[in-house]
Structure 1
């Protein structure tokens, strides 16, 4: 049994594992937790197609193995040249994926085109196990049913799909039921996003620190049946190591990890689902050791470069400097790769080299990206 964290074949001081590019902030949905605070209208100052090509050229200059390139928004399909951007990146050998919004702009025709043009995968959101919950998140009726249809179309056409779920107070008790849908319909990965107060996200949507611990322990259990990952839930790496170690030693993990009512509620539902479906467990996939500015970088619609889309401190603009130079040389980017600079409980933590906490959440609450992550209850 492998007990460890996956490290990409990358020197994170030299290049990122993943580049997220917000090609537009325009979107026809009105999601309650939208990071981009999107609008139906495009910004006239968005990167042009020529600037898009220059950005992709620079990503290519990082060298093989190339970073993953995720085209997101807003809604990428609000750009008329989105397939031209895809074609240019794919011809360079870059692994291109898309994160479209589920609107009439995205249908089976676009799925067939993406597959034909060499898109590696797409990700779509499922924030509720019911039409009522999911559509209330999206601010538009009918999105849940359309999501189910497009999910089926991706599977039919052989396009890999990741399902994203943002964990909030509104859907925390539905997570086991969402798992059931993901397992039944099939997905490359189930990715849980943990809310950071940016864009339209509000504090009232946040779960408590204890509930973070509960959900991540549930995610470890669910990971025996579907591949899972987290965004801005970095303590999952610590929980993963603790749970794997306890399994190997045959110990009760609750002696070292404090779990609460939400965990036991979700575990009971998961146990029932596994039994009813006669699911067979497998070894869960180990999380990757990446964080804001450490293997991860975000480019905005205007060319601004951020350590992540949830950490709104600009480190430069690709209209002035290449992305490669900003990622390698910007002082904040460099310092985010130094766990010895972390403060508070994160600075004292014996897991700081593999977890590091959410730098975005620390900044959101404290105005300091190196302060402790307020969502974590672990104290060594």
Structure 2
């Protein structure tokens, strides 16, 4: 490996201690669905203490105060289309110079007209959830019949309207054996990005059966394989960055990782579907080194500031303290940006500065956000090719927006 090291993991261009790469605002918890994993435990009615339009505009003003180019600003829920002022808020954020994306639910509000309205207001992308390759699978997980059809129709409409579309899939017990079929559907329909969300036991998700670390490892390696034919990423699966580094080195050496039976079943199913047939991506999309409190911040429907929507510890409220101060100075956020504070296997791991594990999942399982991520199967020190690993980590490039 004498040639220049490839960029395997991207880093934000600007220091994450000074500004986040991504800000997610929970516009409302109102949503007509009853998803089994919902971190927000959404209800049909809007919360009486929800940030109103003036509060929401102040939040976006605070996001813009981080400087230009501003963080990516994602409006999520619940279902953001439950707010009548959604397009006005998108327009306000856009006028501030923010790149605004919207994450709607697959409901009857996901219409071409509504999507066109947020596009015309300045939204650059949407993200939609797809947790099953069939209507029966997806609708059972989402708790309402018809969601799969609404999602597919909205997906196609958004694509036709010129909006970028990210598809999010919960990787849990219900979807694990369906991942190859979901991947084939995403590739066939077309998406800017497919994100695999590794379940965190918070909200309703706390009642779902956890995966084993070995199952997660197999799923992450399958996602890495899918990256050869479509852009893939993970949410709360930070060890996907470790997998990308390991696989890059192993592939260059002509070696294969030792994986489990789930990986074998998924790859066999993918082969039968022709998932990896045809044109390959010229360049693999490198995962981005961003995680809870470290390049990422979440503002709740009532203004509470969390390192992640899946890490329900508040560092303050935007109604009483500017988001810039909370993000830069709160002890919770500063501790999450210090890998030397990590405990257990994550603290001992040679990948901790570029992975760090899911702080949300550590908190969900142990009550301590600095503990080890129980979904990681890697044993610190087991990867043998240290010189190549150092070269790749040192060669990790800043993200170019």
| TM-score tier (shorter) | over 0.9
Alignment of 1:107-256 (within 5 A): 107-254=111-258
Give the structure 1 partner of residue 397 of structure 2. Answer: none
State the 1:93 CA deviation: 1.1
State the 1:274 CA deviation: 3.3
State the 1:203 CA deviation: 4.7
State the 1:80 CA deviation: 1.1
The separation in 1 between residues aligned to 2:206 and 2:136, in whole angstroms, is: 20
Instruction: Work out whether residues 3 and 244 of structure 1, in 8 Å CA contact, stay in contact via their aligned partners in 2.
Output: no
Give the structure 2 partner of residue 365 of structure 1. Answer: 365
Give the structure 2 partner of residue 68 of structure 1. Answer: 72
TM-score, normalised with respect to structure 1 = 0.96
Alignment of 1:253-268 (within 5 A): 253-254=257-258, 259-268=259-268
State the 1:185 CA deviation: 0.6
The separation in 2 between residues aligned to 1:173 and 1:55, in whole angstroms, is: 41
The separation in 2 between residues aligned to 1:51 and 1:157, in whole angstroms, is: 30
SS in 1 for 2:74: strand
The separation in 2 between residues aligned to 1:148 and 1:225, in whole angstroms, is: 21
Give the structure 2 partner of residue 313 of structure 1. Answer: 313
State the 1:284 CA deviation: 2.1
The one of 23, 30, 34 equivalent to 1:30 is: 34
Give the structure 1 partner of residue 391 of structure 2. Answer: none
Instruction: Work out whether residues 359 and 370 of structure 1, in 8 Å CA contact, stay in contact via their aligned partners in 2.
Output: yes
Instruction: Work out whether residues 110 and 150 of structure 2, in 8 Å CA contact, stay in contact via their aligned partners in 1.
Output: no
Give the structure 1 partner of residue 396 of structure 2. Answer: none
The separation in 1 between residues aligned to 2:116 and 2:24, in whole angstroms, is: 23
Q: Deviations over 1:97-118 (max 9, x none)?
A: 0000111122000111122121
Instruction: Work out whether residues 3 and 241 of structure 1, in 8 Å CA contact, stay in contact via their aligned partners in 2.
Output: no
How many equivalent pairs are there?
Answer: 376
Q: Any unmatched runs of 5+ in structure 1?
A: none
The separation in 2 between residues aligned to 1:320 and 1:220, in whole angstroms, is: 43
Q: Any unmatched runs of 5+ in structure 2?
A: 382-401
The separation in 1 between residues aligned to 2:90 and 2:217, in whole angstroms, is: 38
Give the structure 2 partner of residue 290 of structure 1. Answer: 290
State the 1:275 CA deviation: 6.6
Q: Deviations over 1:135-163 (max 9, x none)?
A: 00111101111211111111111111000
The separation in 2 between residues aligned to 1:310 and 1:189, in whole angstroms, is: 21
The separation in 2 between residues aligned to 1:376 and 1:195, in whole angstroms, is: 13
Q: CA, structure 1 residues 50+281, in 2 after alignment: closer, same or farther (shift >3 Å)?
A: closer
Query: Which shows bigger deviation, 187-196 or 277-286?
Result: 277-286
SS in 2 for 1:123: strand
Give the structure 1 partner of residue 271 of structure 2. Answer: 271
The separation in 2 between residues aligned to 1:135 and 1:268, in whole angstroms, is: 26
Instruction: Work out whether residues 15 and 62 of structure 1, in 8 Å CA contact, stay in contact via their aligned partners in 2.
Output: yes
Instruction: Work out whether residues 196 and 234 of structure 2, in 8 Å CA contact, stay in contact via their aligned partners in 1.
Output: yes
Give the structure 1 partner of residue 346 of structure 2. Answer: 346
The separation in 2 between residues aligned to 1:44 and 1:361, in whole angstroms, is: 29
Instruction: Work out whether residues 184 and 275 of structure 2, in 8 Å CA contact, stay in contact via their aligned partners in 1.
Output: no
Give the structure 1 partner of residue 322 of structure 2. Answer: 322
SS in 2 for 1:88: helix
Give the structure 2 partner of residue 81 of structure 1. Answer: 85
Instruction: Work out whether residues 3 and 245 of structure 1, in 8 Å CA contact, stay in contact via their aligned partners in 2.
Output: no
SS in 1 for 2:204: coil
SS in 2 for 1:201: helix
State the 1:252 CA deviation: 2.4
Instruction: Work out whether residues 21 and 299 of structure 1, in 8 Å CA contact, stay in contact via their aligned partners in 2.
Output: yes
State the 1:269 CA deviation: 1.7
The separation in 2 between residues aligned to 1:89 and 1:204, in whole angstroms, is: 36
The separation in 2 between residues aligned to 1:280 and 1:330, in whole angstroms, is: 44
SS in 2 for 1:150: helix
- RMSD (Å) for aligned C-alpha atoms: 1.3
Q: CA, structure 1 residues 46+204, in 2 after alignment: closer, same or farther (shift >3 Å)?
A: closer
The separation in 2 between residues aligned to 1:277 and 1:243, in whole angstroms, is: 20
Q: Deviations over 1:40-83 (max 9, x none)?
A: 00011111111111111111110012100000000101111111
Q: Deviations over 1:273-303 (max 9, x none)?
A: 3378534354421111111000000000000
